[in-house]
Amino acid sequence: TKRIFSGVQPSGTPTIGNYIGAMKQFTELQNDFDAYYCVVNEHAITVAQDPAELRKNTRSLAALYIALGVDPEKATIFIQSQVPAHAQAAWMVQCLTPLGELERMTQFKDKSAKQGSVSAGLLTYPPLMVADIILYQTDLVPVGDDQKQHLELTRNFVERFNNRFTGKKEEGILTMPEFYAPKEGGRIMSLQDPLKKMSKSDENQKGFVSLLDDPKVIMKKIKSAVTDSSGEISYDKENKPGVSNLLTIYSSMSGRSIDDIVNEYADAGYGKFKQDLADVVISVLEPMQARYDKLMESSELDDILADGAKRANEVASETLAKMEKAIGFR
C-alpha cells in the first residue's frame, strides 16, 4: 500500500481552514493508504511559543485528529519530537539545500516580516518538512495550497538526493511524493480580511473559526465576517472575495456544490446566508467537540501516542539509516 504523511503545527487550535484544506482529507484517505499523521511541534517552535501552551496544544491537537475521525487502528498518530530521526534527517537535508532556495520561500517571507527577531529555524523550516516527508517514503502529502511551494522543494530534493547517492542499477533511496489538496478549499481566507489566508496563529481571533470554538462564538464570528455592499450572493473570487470564501466554506462543510448553494440563496441576503452557514459549521464541529472532550479526559490518548511514536520510529529509522549510509556516516 502507498504511504501518506501530513502534519499540523500545535501553534494554536486548528481552524476550519486547517480542517478543510488538510485534516478533512486525513479521514477520507486513511482507508486507502498507510497513513502517518504527525503533530509537528518542532515546526511550531520556529516562532516563539509559551512552553505550557505548547504542551497543552500538542496533546489537544492529537486528540482532535482522533475526534475528527482518524482511526488509530488504521493510521499512525504521533508527536514529531518523539521521533528523533526528524531532526537528524533535517540536518542532512539542510546541508544539501542551497540557501537561496530557502530565502525564496513565501512562508518564510510572510512570517519573517511579522517577527521582530527571526530565528534561523524559520528559514530552515522547509528542510525539516522535507525530512518529515521522506522518512516515511511518502507517496502522497495532503496539505493546503500554502504548502505547495514546500512540497516542490521536497520533490527537487528527492530528485537531487537520488541522483547523487543512488547507484545506477538501484531503485531510488527516497520515494518521490505528490502534492494533494482539495479542488476547492485549499486556501480558506480570513473572515476579517478575505485577501489574507486564515491562520490559527492570527492575533485577530475574529479572523478564524477554531475547531473548539463554542457554537455561540462560531455564530458571532461568521455573522461578522467581512463581505461587500452589493448584497448579492454569487461566486466571484476577484470581485467578491469575502462572499466567495464563505461559499467555499459552506460547500466544503456540507458536501454540496457551490452552484447549488448559490441557487438556494440567490434572493436570500447575507444575513440568512451567514446564519445558515454558521449552523452548517456548528453541525460538523459539535459532535467532534463532544468526542474531543471525552478523549482529553481519558488515558487512552497517551497509549495511542506511545504506540504511534513506536511505529513511526521503526519506519523513520530505517530511512534514516539508508540516508546515513549514502552520505558516508556508516
In the set 197, 221, 240, 274, the catalytic residue is 197
Residue 146 assigned ligand-binding role: yes
Q: What is the spatial distance between Cα 233 and Cα 137, in angstroms, rounded to a whole number?
A: 45
Is 197 a catalytic site residue? Answer: yes
Do residues 200 and 18 lie in contact, with contact meaning Cβ atoms separated by under 8 Å?
Answer: yes
Could you say which of 4, 22, 153, 320 contacts ligand ATP (CB under 6 A)?
22
Query: 216 an active-site residue?
Result: no
The answer to whether 198 contacts ligand ATP (rule: CB under 6 A) is yes
Whether residue 231 contacts residue 273, with contact meaning beta carbons closer than 8 Å, is answered with: no
Buried b (16+ CB within 10 A) or exposed e, 229-247: eeeebebeeeebbbbbbbb
Q: Binders of ligand ATP among 98-157, rule CB under 6 A?
A: 143-144, 146-147
> Contact with ligand ATP (CB under 6 A): which of 201, 254, 289, 317?
201
User: Looking at beta carbons only, is 21 or 308 nearer to ligand ATP?
Assistant: 21
Determine contact, residues 47/9, Cβ cutoff 8 Å: no
Question: Is residue 198 part of an annotated ligand binding site?
Answer: yes
Angstrom distance (rounded) from CA 266 to CA 279:
18
Task: Check 111, 221, 240, 274 and give the catalytic one.
Answer: 111
Residue 144 annotated as binding site = yes
Nearest 5°: the CA angle 122, 201, 185 is 100
Which single residue is written with the C-alpha cell 520533490? Answer: 155
Is there a binding annotation on residue 6? no
Catalytic site residue from 200, 221, 240, 274: 200
For residues 241 and 228, what is the distance between their CA atoms, to the nearest angstrom?
9
Catalytic residue set: 111, 197, 200
Summarize as ranges the residues that interact with ligand ATP (CB under 6 A).
8-9, 11, 15, 17-18, 20-22, 143-144, 146-147, 186-188, 197-201
